[in-house]
């Protein structure tokens, strides 16, 4: 059936499909790279949070008081993507909680075994609090991925909207190339 079409039509279809496959592959690769970037950015944010609060969290474990809790709460507000945080001492006793901890409580056992859980909209992670090679306790953190996901969707949809334009350009290019090729063959 393919041979019923002229070489010109065959070239147009072949080149257009080839370019379409390249476009879709590029879109999928960029989308996948963005997901990796989201994970890395979120983990970096959590590491920054932990480094920023490490000393204060350890102080709260050893000498809990209202001022320390207030200071930590105030500093956590600077991290907009934090949905919840739970501080435990080395014995696993809950010392402090911040915001919505429902996800963290539901996933606590998995987090203790896996260290991190990525969901579609959140990263749940466990970070140990260490002072002088002694594990003073740990925190469980729930970070929302909404800001990162919105950026990813924006890029994805902008690339997706350019797909038809690029496909039309591919058809025009393949038409031009096939005309030149068939002209030379005659």
pLDDT per residue as tens digits for the range 17-36: 888 898 889 888 988 898 88
How far apart CA 19 and CA 138 sit, in angstroms, is: 51
How far apart CA 81 and CA 127 sit, in angstroms, is: 17
pLDDT per residue as tens digits for the range 173-186: 878 877 777 776 65
How far apart CA 37 and CA 28 sit, in angstroms, is: 14
pTM recorded for the entire structure: 0.74
Residues with Cβ within 8 Å of 177's Cβ and at least 6 positions away in sequence, in order, are 11, 15
Residues with Cβ within 8 Å of 59's Cβ and at least 6 positions away in sequence, in order, are 68
pLDDT per residue as tens digits for the range 124-142: 999 999 888 888 999 999 9
**Which pair of structure tokens corresponds to residue 101?**
């901890």
How far apart CA 132 and CA 119 sit, in angstroms, is: 33
CATH fold label, 24-185? Beta-Lactamase (3.30.450)
Residue given tokens 């056992």 in the structure block? 109
Q: How many CB atoms lie within 10 A of CB 166?
A: 15
């Amino acid at each position: 059936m393919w041979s019923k079409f002229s070489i010109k039509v065959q070239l147009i279809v072949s080149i257009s499909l080839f370019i379409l496959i390249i476009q879709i592959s590029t879109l999928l690769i960029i989308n996948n790279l963005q997901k990796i970037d989201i994970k890395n950015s979120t983990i970096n944010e959590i590491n920054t949070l932990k480094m920023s609060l490490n000393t204060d969290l350890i102080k709260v474990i050893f000498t809990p008081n209202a001022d320390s809790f207030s200071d930590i709460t105030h500093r956590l507000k600077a991290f907009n993507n934090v949905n919840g945080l739970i501080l435990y001492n080395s014995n696993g006793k809950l010392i402090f909680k911040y915001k919505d901890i429902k996800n963290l409580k539901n996933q606590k056992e998995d987090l203790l075994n896996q260290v991190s859980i990525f969901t579609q909209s959140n990263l749940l992670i466990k970070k140990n609090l260490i002072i002088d090679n002694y594990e003073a306790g740990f925190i469980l953190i729930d970070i929302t991925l909404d800001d990162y996901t919105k950026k990813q969707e924006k890029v994805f949809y902008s690339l997706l909207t350019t797909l038809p334009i690029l496909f039309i350009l591919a058809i025009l290019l393949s038409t031009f190339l096939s005309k030149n090729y068939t002209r030379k063959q005659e």
